[in-house]
Amino acid sequence: MHLAQESFQVICEDPHCAARCGILRTAHGEVQTPAFMPVGTRGSIKGVLPELVCRTGTQIILSNTYHLLLRPGPEIVAELGGLHRFMGWDGPILTDSGGFQVFSLAQLAKIDETGATFRSHIDGQRVVLTPEGSISVQEMLGSDVAMVFDHVVGLPNERTVIKEAMERSLRWAERCKVAHSRKEQLLFAIVQGGLEPDLRIRCAEALINLGFDGYAVGGLSVGEPPQEMYRILDVTVPVLPRTRPRYLMGVGRPVDLIEAIYRGIDMFDCVIPTRNGRNAMAFTDDGPMRMRNARYERDPRPIDPTCPCPACSFSRGYIRHLFMVKEMLGPILLTLHNLTYYQRLIQRARSAICEGRFCEFRQEMLSKLAAGNDANDT
């Protein structure tokens, strides 16, 4: 664990809340935190060349063990030079372990102490994924940050189900740590425990005892109200070590990022900016814009005149046209816009934290975003 001592450094903390800025050091370079990771599920941020991903301000991306295990298979990725070379991304990559995808995508998943046996959602082939197998795949992919393989359950759920899954996730985390051998690859644990504060705390403490390079909060944003998620962060984050990065998995909307940063979260991944972009939704400080709306038909203005992304060199009218005629360039442009929006939001959060004014920034953004959402509902 020689890298672990220096793999994360807090560089400033807002004195008025738990928000902090840091640097995550990986084998493929540094990441400023708070950081947002675009999702490149199958070895590609959908529709975007790596050089354009970079221009959105993205410093680290996420890819998925589950998807790459099924296609093209980790042996092929390794043979083609590892995931960085494969997908043409020289910066840091975090790989998810597959736990969440087994829960959300796999068919007929059978989970026992050994691991998960399931049918591929693509062709129905039988696949086995164990903690050791997930680590092995992530090592073959060569990501900079690997995640432990966890047992994810839906919410709401019975306490006994959540408790058993959490305890199994703990045992699996230990097996992942034992199995993990690539020194230059960081290994993050995942805190489970549903909406049960005491289970979250017990899980976090047990993982900290095992010792990992970073700690994720998992199993959230799976249907529960946002306030429930914030409540769980309120009890979980304070237990996590100050000196390690904290990663809220699969979250979220701009407001969720701000609320989580406020509570001390350092890293995020989410498909919302890319998926919603492909569906014609453009994020702005004044709430999301639905670009198929007829109100934009003759609108010569860019989505956001302050935005430096390629989409904002075009008129709203043009972007609406692209979606109305189903041109690929529409989804591409809004993907770029939304990723740029997310990265600029995160950059503004970092500046606010270092200047000790994150609380004001949070209030201002929450008001704006809420007003925008109201306006778009009318």
Give the catalytic positions in this structure.
96, 269
For the segment 308-347, give every residue that binds a second copy (CB under 8 A). Answer: 310, 313-315, 317-318, 320-322, 324-325, 327-329, 331-333
Q: Does 43 bind a second copy (CB under 8 A)?
A: yes
Please state the closest distance from residue 90 (CB atom) to a second copy, in A. Answer: 11
Query: Under a CB-based contact definition with an 8 Å cutoff, are residues 15 and 356 in contact?
Result: yes
DSSP string, 280-322: TEE--TT--EETTSGGGTT--S-S-TT--SGGGGS-HHHHHHH
Residue 118 tokens, joined: 């399931």
Nearer to a second copy, 6 or 51 (CB): 51
Residue window 16-35: x/- pattern of binding to a second copy, with contact defined by CB under 8 A: --------------------
Residue window 49-88: x/- pattern of binding to a second copy, with contact defined by CB under 8 A: x-xx--------------x---xx---x--xxx---xxxx
Nearer to a second copy, 108 or 325 (CB): 325
Nearest Cα to 24, choosing from 202, 216, 208?
216
Give first-to-last CA distance, the chain, whole Å: 54
Please state the closest distance from residue 66 (CB atom) to a second copy, in A. Answer: 13
Q: Does 370 bind a second copy (CB under 8 A)?
A: no
Q: Does 44 bind a second copy (CB under 8 A)?
A: yes
Dist. CA 298–CA 60, nearest whole Å? 37
Nearest Cα to 74, choosing from 127, 143, 147, 138?
138
Please state the closest distance from residue 292 (CB atom) to a second copy, in A. Answer: 12
**Which helix H or strand E contains 220, and what residues bound it?**
none
Please state the closest distance from residue 259 (CB atom) to a second copy, in A. Answer: 32
Of 16, 25, 28, 46, the residue at the interface with a second copy (CB under 8 A) is 46
DSSP string, 332-344: HHHHHHHHHHHHH
Q: Which residue has the tokens 């807090």?
A: 10
Residue 153 tokens, joined: 């359950």
For residue 51, CA distances in Å to 57, 87, 340, 348 come to: 10, 11, 13, 22
Report the interface residues with a second copy, using CB under 8 A. 42-44, 46-49, 51-52, 67, 71-72, 76, 79-81, 85-88, 297-298, 300, 310, 313-315, 317-318, 320-322, 324-325, 327-329, 331-333
